[in-house]
Amino acid sequence: MTEKPDIKSMNLTELTSFVTGLSEKSFRAKQIYQWMHHKQAASIDEMTNLSVLFREKLKQECRFVSLKQVDVQISKEDGTRKYLFALEDGNVIESVLMRYKYGSSICISSQAGCRMGCRFCASALGGFVRGLLPSEMLEQIYRISKDIDERISHVVVMGTGEPLDNYDNLLKFIELLTDENGLHISRRNLTVSTCGIVPEIYRLAEEKLQITLAISLHAPSQEKRRMLMPIAEKYDLKELLEACRYYFEKTGRRITFEYALAAGVNDMEQEAEELSKLLKGMNCHVNLIPINPVRERSFQGSGQREVLAFKEQLEKNRIHVTVRRELGRDIDAACGQLRKRYMEGNLKGQE
């Protein structure tokens, strides 16, 4: 059985040919597009300027992707909200709303599960299911924005999954998210984080999008990185940095390097020095964050003193660096933990 077309993943041109294919006038496509991406309607029935007959026809002819909220945890410390959504096929994904002085930012998942297997991460523990559709990525933002009745200013693709392992859907998602007829999020306010799939970084560079690329680096040497991230076996550190330089050349966008500090693993003076050497002269920014301990993983986050010392060492070497504020520490903060807990069936009764 072929699946019905997913209209929320279509751009206006595609939607127009779909609608005219149903023998409807092309301006109907604009109306539907507005309902979906501007007004963020949760169902076809909300599209009240379409006739009941046409709405029924639409329901029969297409698939209207909408996420169901299963759970939300709200941090008492900083207002961070962690949402759990159910997809139509019963899989669950998580998304996080973070509040900053400059506005609200949503961290979305790009896949259900992940196959990258980073050793400190909870996302891969439940295995890999599938990449998310553009509509399923957008819906995470639409549902949260509706829930808090606020406009979202920033989006980071840093939740569960590897976005560059879902390349085509990611690109379509970016097109729709930044479209002036939709939410119209500025490309500069969108960050895509990758563990370092080198060929896809080159591919993305050619698109010349003004988005921020974040690289999960986590180690200053190939030897150490291999121990933390299996992807390093496939694409080594040298290749990765070359791809980053190319990305900067093509887009003019400064790369962000994510560096999660694990106590006694990658947080010593030696690593800070190695990292400074590695990034010297590169137009980049380093984001430090202590590792979030995951029950099934053996890593511990570095202490405040070590984080600060690491930061100062980098600064001394003139590397741009910030320590990422840890948000939502009192709710399942680390990537994939809420989803995992849900899948294990013990979300209830945790209060």
Smaller CB distance to ligand SAH: residue 121 or 201? 121
Phi, psi for 138 (deg, rounded to 5): -60, -45
Return the bridge partners of 286, or none: 257, 321
Estimate to the nearest angstrom the gap between the alpha carbon of 227 and the chain centroid: 24
Tell the smallest beta-carbon distance from residue 330 to ligand SAH (Å): 16
Concatenated DSSP letters of 297-312 = S---BPPHHHHHHHHH
Active-site annotation holder among 107, 114, 121, 335: 335
335 catalytic? Reply is: yes
Smaller CB distance to ligand SAH: residue 36 or 158? 158
Smaller CB distance to ligand SAH: residue 79 or 230? 230
Smaller CB distance to ligand SAH: residue 182 or 301? 301
Return the bridge partners of 128, or none: 113
Q: Please compute, for residue 94, the number of CA atoms within 13 A of its CA located in the half-sphere on the CB side.
A: 26
Nearest to 146 by CA among 88, 95, 92, 89: 95
Chain residues that interact with ligand SAH, rule: CB under 6 A: 116, 118, 120-121, 158, 162, 193-195, 216, 258, 260, 289, 291-292, 294, 334-335
Phi, psi for 215 (deg, rounded to 5): -110, 125
* Token pair of 63 as six digits: 């698939």
Phi, psi for 323 (deg, rounded to 5): -100, 120
114 catalytic? Reply is: no
Active-site annotation holder among 94, 162, 271, 306: 94
Residues 1 and 111: their CA atoms lie apart, in Å, by 24
